[in-house]
Amino acid sequence: MKYKYCKTFFLAAIFFMLPNFANAAVVWETDFEDAADWSAVRPSPSGISFPNSWTLKPGGPSVEPPKKNDGSWLHPNSWSRIAPSVLTNNITPMATIGSGQGKDNSRGMTYNVEVSGVSGTWSGGSPLTMYLGADGYPELYVSMWVKYDSEFTWLPASPASGSQQKLVYISRLNVPISATADADNHSNGPLHPSWLPHWYNYISVSPYYAFYMNRSQQSNGSLVSYDQTKDMWSIHPSYYPLNAPFKWPESNPHIVSVQSDGWWHHYEYHIKMNSAPGVADGVQEVWLDGIKRFSKSDMPFVLDGGSTATGWNYVELFDNTNILSHPASENVTYPIYIDDVAIGTTYAGQNYVIGGIDVIAPAAPTGLGVE
């Protein structure tokens, strides 16, 4: 049987939202072994920043989401948030799923990052955006294994303003998804509060440096920290258990080179809603290969007058990038490989095995057309 995706069916499926698994350790997970081969083609440049996104494609993006071998969606409420190509001659899809793309040559996902050579282009998008249901979760952990290609180069040899990559986007969607909802509008839509950690690489003099950056958004949509403002190590070192992170050529070279060493590394992000509106005790934490690299526990996600009744219900794997190592005319694309993704309410860690005994499988979506 061939399952056909279209916007109408996507919208119909949204009305059968995920049940609330607020007490479940595992919200959703995949090792891609039961995922069908998949490819997400970038749309042609149209003057619109994200034509294949829920916000700018009313009723849902037209590029079909990843599917399982049985035709059901890999995640029951998902889509790919895709920006047009920024290259002179686009030759690669934005993302794929297939054999040999995961750990130990297993099945996995590849996220292809275009190199624009210009800051502010924010090429890419998210290969997998997931809506977790109206109620959400007061606390979430997002765990995944990631490998940057060994050829991945962030910056040119001469001084540049800096390359950035958004690593994960965890947020609260405050309206029901509908044909007119700005469901994935980061800037001025209904996604808040939110958390969007970054890599940031720059060169003013040799050697290169890479810093962890933090973007936080409060329940009224205002940014409380972004880039090098409040959460940089140089300004707030108490957030960094191991002091300055990811710096060449000092410190542990294995930790330093995770962004281009060609090895698999484990990333885990933890977010917890503040206990009551106006109370500054929300949590943001990051582990890299089981080592805590960032820990913040004074985040006022929901402000006075807001509500903490709805939890985190929106996750994007990765997001946009500004990579400056080559001009767009050279048509350079670097692959990032993704495997063993787990979203849950407790810490997973490096040794977590997908498909454990406390998995609660989400309901499959309905409304898929069958031919």
Report, as an integer, the average pLDDT of 181-186: 85
Q: Which of 106-115, 174-183, 301-310, 360-369 has the lowest mean pLDDT?
A: 360-369
Q: How far apart, in Å, are the Cα atoms of 82 and each of 75, 124, 149, 306, 323? A: 17, 6, 21, 32, 17
pLDDT of 17-38, one tens digit each? Answer: 343 433 449 999 999 999 999 9
Residue 256 DSSP class? H
pLDDT of residue 202: 65
Name the DSSP class of 120.
Answer: T
CB neighbour burial string for 318-347, b if at least 16 within 10 angstroms, e if fewer: bbbbbbbbbebeebbbbbbbbbbbbbbbee
Q: What is the pLDDT of residue 250?
A: 41
- CA atoms of 362 and 16, how far apart (whole Å): 11
Which tens digits make up the pLDDT trace of 319-358? 988 888 899 999 999 999 999 999 999 999 999 999 864 4
Please tell me the least confidently modeled range out of 6-15, 39-48, 72-81, 203-212.
6-15
- Round to whole Å and give the CA distance between 46 and 62: 15
Distance of CA 130 to the CA centre of its chain: 10
**Predicted pLDDT at 91:** 81
Using CA atoms, how far apart are residues 87 and 115, in angstroms rounded to an integer? 8
Report the distance separating Cα 131 and Cα 80, nearest Å.
Answer: 12
User: Per this entry, what is the length of the chain?
Assistant: 371
Lowest average pLDDT, out of 18-22, 154-158, 246-250, 305-309, goes to 18-22
Write out the H or E segment, with its range, that includes residue 127: strand 125-131
Work out the burial of residue 363: count CB atoms within 10 Å of its CB; fewer than 13 is exposed, 13-18 middle, 19 or more buried.
exposed
By the 8 A CB rule, do 108 and 97 touch? yes
Q: List the one residue out of 194, 173, 192, 169 whose CA is nearest residue 183.
A: 173
303-319 average pLDDT score: 95
Whole-number pLDDT of residue 367: 30
Return the closest-CA partner of residue 298 out of 233, 226, 230, 344.
Answer: 230
Rounded to whole angstroms, the Cα distance separating 42 from 52 reads: 8
pLDDT of amino acid 208: 52
How far is the C-alpha of 39 from the C-alpha of 154, rounded, in Å?
25
**Residue 13, φ and ψ in degrees, nearest 5:** -65, -30
| Domain ranges for the chain | 3-370
Reply yes or no on whether the pLDDT at 157 is more than 60.
yes
Output the pLDDT for position 145.
Answer: 98
Sign of torsion, CA 154 32 193 195?
A: negative
Which phi-psi region, left, alpha or beta, contains residue 278 (left: φ > 0; alpha: ψ -120 to 50)? left
Tokens, residue 356: 């454990």
pTM over 0.75: yes
First to last CA, the chain: 6
Residue 264 has pLDDT above 60, yes or no: yes
Q: What pLDDT digit, counting tens, does each position of 43-99 carry?
A: 877 767 777 888 777 777 888 999 999 999 999 999 999 988 889 888 899 999 999
The mean of the pLDDT values for the chain is: 81
**C-alpha span between 114 and 214 (Å, rounded):** 23
Considering only 123-132, 157-166, 212-221, 357-366, which range has the smallest mean pLDDT? Answer: 357-366
Comparing 283 with 230, which gets the higher pLDDT?
283
Identify the residue with better confidence: 88 or 157.
88
